[in-house]
Amino acid sequence: MYNVRMLRPDFEIVKDIANLIDDTYKNVRLINRKFVIRSVLKVSFDNTILLLENWKLISTLKKHYLSNYLKKTMLITQNLSS
């Protein structure tokens, strides 16, 4: 009913419900005031991208931590050798 304009998308209650549906279901997207049903493959792909973006942050933090750890360790071992 929404996609064939039987429900007017400019009414506030209809707009709120449409946005709620878009936010609630992963396989439904609201694009240009129309609901688009997405395949399981597209939803899985989006979830994978989201996970990989989080791993990028974690790996960057780990690299930064390890580089600082190695610098501190070298300083300590140099001081002990002297």
Percent of the chain at pLDDT above 90?
12
Which DSSP letter does residue 16 get? H
The whole-model pTM stands at 0.52
Q: Would you state the pLDDT for residue 3? A: 74
What angle is formed at CA 24 by the lines to CA 19 and CA 27, rounded to 5 degrees?
100
User: In this predicted model, what pLDDT tens digit does every residue of 31-61 receive, in sequence order?
Assistant: 888 889 999 999 999 888 888 887 878 888 8
Token couple for 37: 């049903």
Mean pLDDT of the chain: 80
Residue 20: pLDDT band (50, 70, 90) is very high
Cα 19 to Cα 7, 8, 38, 58: the distances in Å are 14, 14, 16, 32
